[in-house]
């Protein structure tokens, strides 16, 4: 599915078509970005899961691995580990057996019940610790890590969905720039036969390799290495300058937006004050006119 999305996005984006195809390309490319981000989050989750699995495996192996098997009570040779229906403690005797048991225990496919952690009735503390470790493993992996995986995938998808327009533009520009690289002149399968450009490059590289083993060639190679290092240093310096300029521009635009918002708020407050003052003057004039009129018709005794 992921490869299909990548192929469809590349084909549709690079094609000269109407707005409908561009809309489909936008959806497919955003889906491709979301899937790539989800795969990265899943890789992080897989590393955390392996860390938890190895930790619990080492603990159970240290707890049960020191027991000596009784040959008389041991099950058949083909009935050992997690695939044995006879519930026994041999699943936790080795590191790999414990790892298999804990892994398949997540999917309820391991024939290891909780009472298997009991060794005998005389070692209650050791049996309780084993059951506690297995129960804690189920809680951590089945409940906590599973919910964590769902939350991580949802967060990565929402980040891409909230910035869909920016992600689309950056991915489209990156895809277009990939076609300007120095690659094969002809598309497959026509690039099987060497082109004249390939032959010319081959002859040029061979002549440079032969000349580099001479005395003058060694000097030129050292000079070219120095020039390459200087060019790389200048490129890094230019990159740092450009990044500083971009950060400065972003901060300046953000500051201007905040100032414009504050100015708009101050202007609104000033307008409100002016309206209130006008309303107060009008009400004062109106009340003063009515008071004078009332005093005219009803003089004081």
> For 154-183, what is each residue's pLDDT tens digit?
888 888 888 777 777 887 787 777 777 666
Q: What is the pLDDT, as a whole number, of residue 301?
A: 46
Task: Give Cα 291 to chain centroid, integer Å.
Answer: 75
**In the predicted structure, residue 256 carries a pLDDT above the cut 60:** yes
Best CA proximity match to 112, nearest among 79, 138, 89: 89
- Summarised one tens digit per residue, pLDDT across range 111-155 is 555 445 555 555 677 777 877 888 888 888 888 888 888 888 888
Q: What is the mean pLDDT of residues 226-250?
A: 88
**In the predicted structure, residue 259 carries a pLDDT above the cut 80:** no
Q: Which residue has the higher pLDDT, 297 or 220?
A: 220
Reported confidence tier of residue 54, pLDDT bands at 50, 70, 90: very high
Q: What pTM did the predictor assign?
A: 0.49
């Amino acid at each position: 599915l992921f490869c299909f999305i990548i192929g469809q996005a590349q084909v549709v984006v690079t094609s000269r078509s109407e707005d409908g195809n561009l809309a489909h390309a936008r959806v497919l490319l955003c889906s491709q970005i979301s899937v790539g981000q989800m795969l990265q989050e899943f890789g992080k989750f897989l590393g955390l899961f392996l860390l938890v699995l190895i930790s619990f495996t080492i603990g159970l192996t240290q707890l049960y691995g020191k027991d000596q098997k009784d040959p008389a009570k041991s099950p058949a040779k083909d009935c050992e580990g997690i695939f044995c229906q006879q519930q026994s403690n041999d699943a936790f005797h080795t590191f790999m057996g414990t790892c298999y048991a804990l892994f398949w225990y997540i999917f309820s496919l391991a024939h290891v019940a909780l009472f298997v952690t009991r060794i005998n009735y005389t070692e209650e503390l050791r049996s309780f610790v084993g059951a506690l470790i297995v129960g804690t493993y189920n809680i951590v992996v089945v409940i906590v890590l599973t919910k964590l995986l769902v939350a991580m995938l949802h967060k990565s998808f929402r980040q891409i969905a909230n910035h869909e327009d920016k992600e689309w533009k950056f991915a489209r520009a990156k895809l277009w720039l990939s076609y300007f690289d120095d690659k094969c002149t002809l598309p497959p399968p026509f690039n099987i036969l060497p082109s004249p450009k390939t032959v010319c490059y081959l002859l040029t590289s061979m002549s440079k390799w032969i000349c580099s083993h001479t005395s003058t060639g060694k000097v030129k190679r050292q000079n070219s290495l120095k020039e390459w290092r200087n060019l790389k240093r200048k490129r890094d310096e230019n990159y740092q300058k450009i990044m500083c300029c971009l950060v400065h521009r972003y901060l300046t635009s953000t500051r201007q937006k905040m100032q414009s918002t504050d100015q708009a708020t101050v202007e609104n407050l000033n307008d409100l004050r002016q309206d209130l003052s006008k309303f107060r003057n009008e009400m004062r004039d109106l009340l003063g006119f009515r008071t004078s009129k009332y005093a005219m018709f009803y003089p004081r005794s």
